Amino acid sequence: MARWVMLLLAWCFAGCASPPVVINSDHLFADALFKPPTVTIAAEEVLRLSPAMRSFLRHDIGAGAQRRAPNLVLLDALYTRNQLKLRYDTTMTRNAVEAFDARAGNCMSLVIMTAAFARELGLPVRYQSVYTDPNWGRRGNLYFTIGHINLSVGRPRDLTRAFGDSADWVTVDFLPQRDLLGQRFQVIEEPTLIAMYMNNKAAEALSAGQLDDAYWWIKAALQQDKQLLFAYNTLGVIYQRHGNLAQAEQTLRFALARDPDSVQVVGNLAQLLTDQGRSTEAQPLFARLARLQPDPPFKFFELGRTAMQQGEYRQAKALFERELARDPDYHEFHFWLALAYLKLGDSGRAARHLAAARDNSNSGEEEALYAAKLARLKAETVH
């Protein structure tokens, strides 16, 4: 079983709506095991504005806010008129300044940048964790659970009835295929948003092998919000990857006691015990995991790749289609289905799935790679 960690690239899971419970988790931290961070880790940096961002507000918002609702003017300047020409990019989670400078970001980054501008204008902001069916991604042998976050920007209270051209709150969702109608969500507080951002950074550092930075990011996340339960899973995996197995077990058991149905925690703890030769203790956890998740993420995808290696292309196609039925927007599934169709001599369907892989790619580099493969396929088909 691969080791798991929950990554919130542009996304987040909603917590339960029950009253908050005081969680004392200070005993889980072991600072002495880790070197100092190589990057600045500070909550105040997440939503900070740069001089260039303030200049953008002056020149591109400025007088327009006197004639229209300022929340509409802001969102129009950022997204509708596309002055910034923003790209959707999940290669890293950026703070407000980084997203503005790069003109790119994932959903979390774009929420943060928009909120930073709104706060500077004195506009109220509401962060929303959206209930969705969980999707999965992976980097190497780390698997990431993906949820979703968006935000609403309101007007200052003294202007609620001064303009008649919109509702008081405007919700912005950075995934165009999302239908806001009927969307179920939970409002989260700003410290929780910052904690989620820091959990992202911890998971990204973890996947890059930067374990010291990962530790300090996740500690900072839990200092922002001790009730962010999936962050304890991230901390447990960091300890495990760092070789601190006792701390990893303590942290994962702490998380499991508070979230016994977390497939990430159950799977990580079961694997940790197995790696230590404690298979008897791990068996009930694996049994629980099988009940919670009969078909693990990427199961049909990996079976499909095996079928491809064995030359069973029709079987591979069927397996890739099963995986796509669970997550129709994952680029790698489309890519491998395109390969299966190519092997079956159906270049038309192969081209359609290559185009879908391109359109659902997570970065400009991936998009360019798929676009090149698609162009080559079309050129070969013409000849």
Q: Residue 104: is its pLDDT beyond 90?
A: no
* Residue found under tokens 């006691």: 257
CATH of 32-201, one of 1.10.1760, 3.90.70, 2.30.30, 3.10.620: 3.10.620
Q: Residue 8: is its pLDDT beyond 80?
A: no
The pLDDT confidence band at residue 49, using thresholds 50, 70 and 90, is very high
What mean pLDDT, rounded, does the chain reach? 85
Residue 82: predicted pLDDT = 62
Residue 164: predicted pLDDT = 46
Task: List pLDDT tens digits, range 198-232.
Answer: 999 999 999 999 999 999 999 999 999 999 999 99
Q: Residue 306: is its pLDDT beyond 90?
A: yes
Task: List pLDDT tens digits, range 317-332.
Answer: 999 999 999 888 888 9
Q: Give the CATH architecture of domain 299-382.
A: Alpha Horseshoe (1.25)
Q: Mean pLDDT throughout 180-192?
A: 81
Q: Residue 334: is its pLDDT beyond 70?
A: yes
d(CA 13, CA 196): 9
- Cβ-based neighbours of 159, under 8 Å, separated by 6 or more: 69, 70
d(CA 243, CA 10): 29
The pLDDT confidence band at residue 4, using thresholds 50, 70 and 90, is very low
DSSP string, 197-213: HHHHHHHHHHHTT-HHH
Structural domain boundaries of the chain?
A: 32-201, 299-382
DSSP string, 183-240: --EEEE-HHHHHHHHHHHHHHHHHHTT-HHHHHHHHHHHHHH-TT-HHHHHHHHHHHH
d(CA 378, CA 383): 9
Task: List pLDDT tens digits, range 120-149.
Answer: 999 999 999 887 776 777 777 788 787 788
Write the single-letter amino acid at 203.
Answer: A
Q: Mean pLDDT throughout 236-261?
A: 96
Residue 360: predicted pLDDT = 81
The answer to whether domain 32-201 and domain 299-382 are alike in fold is no
